[in-house]
Structure 1
Amino acid sequence: MSRPVTRRFPRADAAVPEARSFLRQVLGDWNITDRFDDALYCLSELATNAIVHGGAGGEHFDVQVSFADNCLRIEVGDPAEGRPSMKSPDPDDTAGRGLLLVDALADGWGVVPCVPRGKAVWTEFKIETQQELPTGVRPC
């Protein structure tokens, strides 16, 4: 198992590309290329949700990336108490599709509470191990 890597970002629109750059760097360091685009896209959606819906008192959101047992896990935590849910947008709606896309691209996603407050929305991807694995990671 690789050691989880976490970084904090300000709740600002510019943080989404910064979070994507962070994930690109981590995946590059770990030699993970499988599901690369799916992981980046899902992170973009979850980071955007943290910015838009992260709660009035939240000045930041956290991104944690981990890899174990051929599973890449990305968590986006924010101080808001509410739980996200998938919407059923009309064809003309310009928003409301983020979690639908995460659900379609990822192998799993969910929400866990954070202590002392807030939540982390996670998404997971099964990773093929035909590539060189990160240092300290061994397949089961």
Structure 2
Amino acid sequence: MPVPQPSLSGIFRPDDEQPTFRFDVRPEATPAGVGGVRRLLRDALTAVRLDHDSPCLLLTELLTNALVHGCDPSVVVELRAGRLLIAVADRSPAQVERRAESPTSTNGRGILLVEALAEAWGVIPAGARGKAVWALMTAA
């Protein structure tokens, strides 16, 4: 059963132009699935002559978090009016948490990375028990 899609209305302004591209995917819940979606985004951004490094890093972080802390992820990516929206939904009711920083920890810096790369981000409900973590960044 697919993950219910969150309502992403309101993230873009109502008068924004139509999307340059948009894709909705339900990747395999493995590292290979993350790589496949990352390549899709890289190729889409390259096709419209935009940098893909930071957007691919942001997508990788959001999707990996959904795999580690949630289940059954789905991804929406949309480029509109020079702004890139990445949203990753999952079926977990667990809240997104910022962990205390530790110089010796090998994980737990995901939300800090999202905050550093995105101009805005948030969490919205997706279905009865799920959530979507979204991030918005200017495409360069």
User: So what's the TM-score if we normalise by structure 1?
Assistant: 0.78
Q: Return the offset for 1:105.
A: 1.3
Segments of 5+ residues of structure 1 without an aligned counterpart are: 129-140
Corresponding position of 2:14: none
1:10 to 2:22 alignment: no
Counterpart code for 2:56 = L
Superposed CA deviations along residues 47-87 of structure 1, whole A, max 9, x for unmatched, are 11011011xxx3x3111111223211011111111221222
Corresponding position of 1:136: none
Corresponding position of 1:100: 112
Q: Distance in 1 between matches of 2:79 and 2:29?
A: 26
1:39 to 2:51 alignment: no
Q: Distance in 2 between matches of 1:93 and 1:100?
A: 14
Corresponding position of 2:103: 91
The alpha-carbon distance between structure 1 residues 8 and 19, as it changes in their structure 2 partners (threshold 3 A), is: same
2:88 partner SS: strand
Runs of 4+ residues over 4 Å off in structure 1: none
Instruction: Show the 5 A alignment for 1:50-69.
Output: 50-54=66-70, 58=71, 60-69=72-81
Corresponding position of 1:76: 88
Counterpart code for 2:69 = H
User: So what's the TM-score if we normalise by structure 2?
Assistant: 0.78
Segments of 5+ residues of structure 2 without an aligned counterpart are: 1-17
